[in-house]
A and B are shown apart, each in its own frame.
Chain A
Amino acid sequence: MNIFNYDFMIRALWVGILVGLMAPLIGQTIVLRRMSMVGDAVAHTTLAGVAIGLILGIDPLISSLVTALLGVFLIDVLRKRLPHYADVSIAILMSLGIGLAGTLSSFVRDTNRFTAFLFGSIVAISQEEVFLITIVVLIVVVVYRLFYKEIFAMTFDENLAQHSGVNVKLVNLIFMIMLGVTLSIAAKTVGTLILSSLLILPVASALQLSKSYKSTLVWSILFSLFYMVGGLVLSFYLGAKPGGTVVLLAVLTYLALLPIRRLRR
């Protein structure tokens, strides 16, 4: 059974590579800004977006993108209102997302399509969606590269960056848009339940090995690609769901890497 004999698997691998490339760009900043749970919170708003899309007959990828963007901006507004309790803003959005997704799901007729977003449907992605995801990922990668040094300054210390003359408001806005876009695409591919793992685990793994900010990013991308492609190949031969396999591979690799950091010290 050759994986490359199946068009849907070739498409899945291509999307896996794209998502694997994009997720750590956002994940590194999320992890280092101590906002790891933001992925979970926004994931639930994307699920609410999926429900809205299915009810209104809009492409769920588009409607989840809109709700993901609304979600990240709501987190940002709440974070500024409660500067000492950043985690509260994430918990509030998560509650809102779960409440909305739960309530709206009662009105969705095509429940199979709705539940597909819980665990992802990377092997059921259409050619049009592949095209859309490719364009979006390319834009995110280019924008990230253009704002790399500003994102570094903001991630390191937002107040310090602001005071030293970095346009933190603009950089934060761009970052939040990239976050929303990444999360909605990742929701479609690996599912909302394990979406935050995709942001966090490659970075957490990279932090065990890296020696600088830049090398953390490079390692994160390598780990992310390994998890996505490795998970997809494993799921194909095991007959398991791709989302779960990707995350299990990531968690097991992370656990295997833990002693390395101790050895380095």
Chain B
Amino acid sequence: MTILNAKHLSYAYPGKTLFKNFTCEVKKGEWVTFIGNNGTGKTTLLKVLAGVIEPQEGSVSLIDPLTKNQLKPTERVYVGQHEFSQHDGFPATALEIVVSAYTPLLGLFKNPKAHQIESAKAMLKKMGLESYIHKQLSELSGGQRQRVFIAKALCIQPKVLFLDEPSSALDANFTLELFRLLKSFQEEGLTILMITHDLALAQSVSDRIFCLEEVDVLQLDAPSIQEELAHRHTHLGETHEHL
């Protein structure tokens, strides 16, 4: 049951091709991860897949396999890498930010209902932010802000979730908790497409891993993941020795 169908995607900046002729199908409830070095175009690819930016070549369709309808913006949610690090000085609280996720669902002239506000609070609690619900965003740490944006994305129960380095500002403990939570949503049918630099983490949660290299997007099989992990381990050891 395909929910995302990407065909012959290409994207280039002047003087640099990021990816060329990338085609893939993602099934409903699948967890797909993209890895790669900095500057290889992971974020651009994820944005293209999420419909945040148009591909220069090729097409992306996000269609609910059950209803055959195109997914609405509230059903395909993108959580960017730097969202949490912006908005300094904006006086909104964590709860106000999360509740604002309902705005496009409600339509014009309607206020969020009591049960939606309760759901938003419950999601913030699940994110370990119970005591920060009424705190302003600028009073929260980078990791806490990141959790607010993930709570905002999850509370409207999207069908596909696009996460760009969701654990970049989180500590190891909460990263584990977050991925347990995401896994439980995946088991209920949520499709996840994610970018991470943590290959070991990617391996433990993902159904498929793609690696962006030069202009190609290659699907990694189990032996190549092990090889890459071993390579990274050795490389890390050498770096430590060097330091």
Q: Which residues of A contact B (CB under 8 A)?
A: 32, 146-147, 149-150, 152-153, 156-157, 160-161, 163-167, 207, 210-216
Contacts and interface: CB of A to CB of B under 8 A. Distances in A.
Nearest to A203: B91
A163 B87 contact: no
B46 interface: no
Interface stretch (B55-63, B103-111, B167-175, B191-199): B103-111
Interface in B127-141: 134, 136
Interface stretch (B33-41, B72-80, B204-212): B72-80
Contact of B104 (A152, A165, A215): A165
B73 A214 contact: no
B92 A212 contact: yes
Given A32-B90, A146-B109, A212-B91, A152 B52 contact: no
B163 to A, nearest CB: 15
Given A164-B77, A212-B92, A156 B100 contact: yes
A230 B28 CA distance: 62
A259 B146 CA distance: 30
A160 B104 contact: no
Interface string B94-106: 0011001101101
Q: Most chain-B CB neighbours within 10 Å: which of A146, A157, A207?
A: A157
B17 interface: no
- Interface SS of chain A: helix
Contacts of B91: 32, 207, 210-213, 215-216
Nearest to A215: B91
A149 B106 contact: yes
A163 B52 contact: yes
A146 B78 contact: no
Nearest to B135: A211
B73 A149 contact: no
B96 A152 contact: yes
Interface string B104-127: 101011011000000000000000
B243 to A, nearest CB: 37
Given A32-B90, A156-B87, A213 B104 contact: no
Nearest to A206: B91
Contacts of A210: 91
Interface string B78-91: 10000100110111
B52 A157 contact: no
Nearest to A154: B103
Scoring A153, A213, A214 by chain B CB atoms within 10 A of each residue's CB, the highest score goes to A213
B5 interface: no
20 contacts: A32-B90, A149-B111, A150-B108, A152-B92, A156-B97, A163-B52, A163-B73, A164-B73, A164-B101, A164-B103, A164-B104, A165-B72, A166-B104, A212-B92, A212-B134, A212-B136, A213-B92, A213-B96, A214-B96, A215-B91
B87 A157 contact: yes
B203 interface: no
Nearest to A160: B83
B228 to A, nearest CB: 32
B75 to A, nearest CB: 9
Contact of B103 (A32, A163, A166, A215): A166
Given A211-B134, A212-B92, A212-B134, A152 B100 contact: yes
A194 B109 CA distance: 34
Contacts of A212: 91-93, 96, 134, 136
Nearest to A217: B91
A157 B86 contact: yes
Nearest to B106: A149
Contacts of A146: 108-109
A153 B78 CA distance: 16
Contacts of B108: 146-147, 150, 167
A153 B93 contact: no
Pick the most buried of A32, A164, A207, A214: most chain B CB atoms within 10 A of its CB: A164
Contacts of B83: 157, 160
A261 B72 CA distance: 42
Contacts of B74: 164-165
B90 A156 contact: yes
A150 B90 CA distance: 16
Contacts of B90: 32, 156, 213
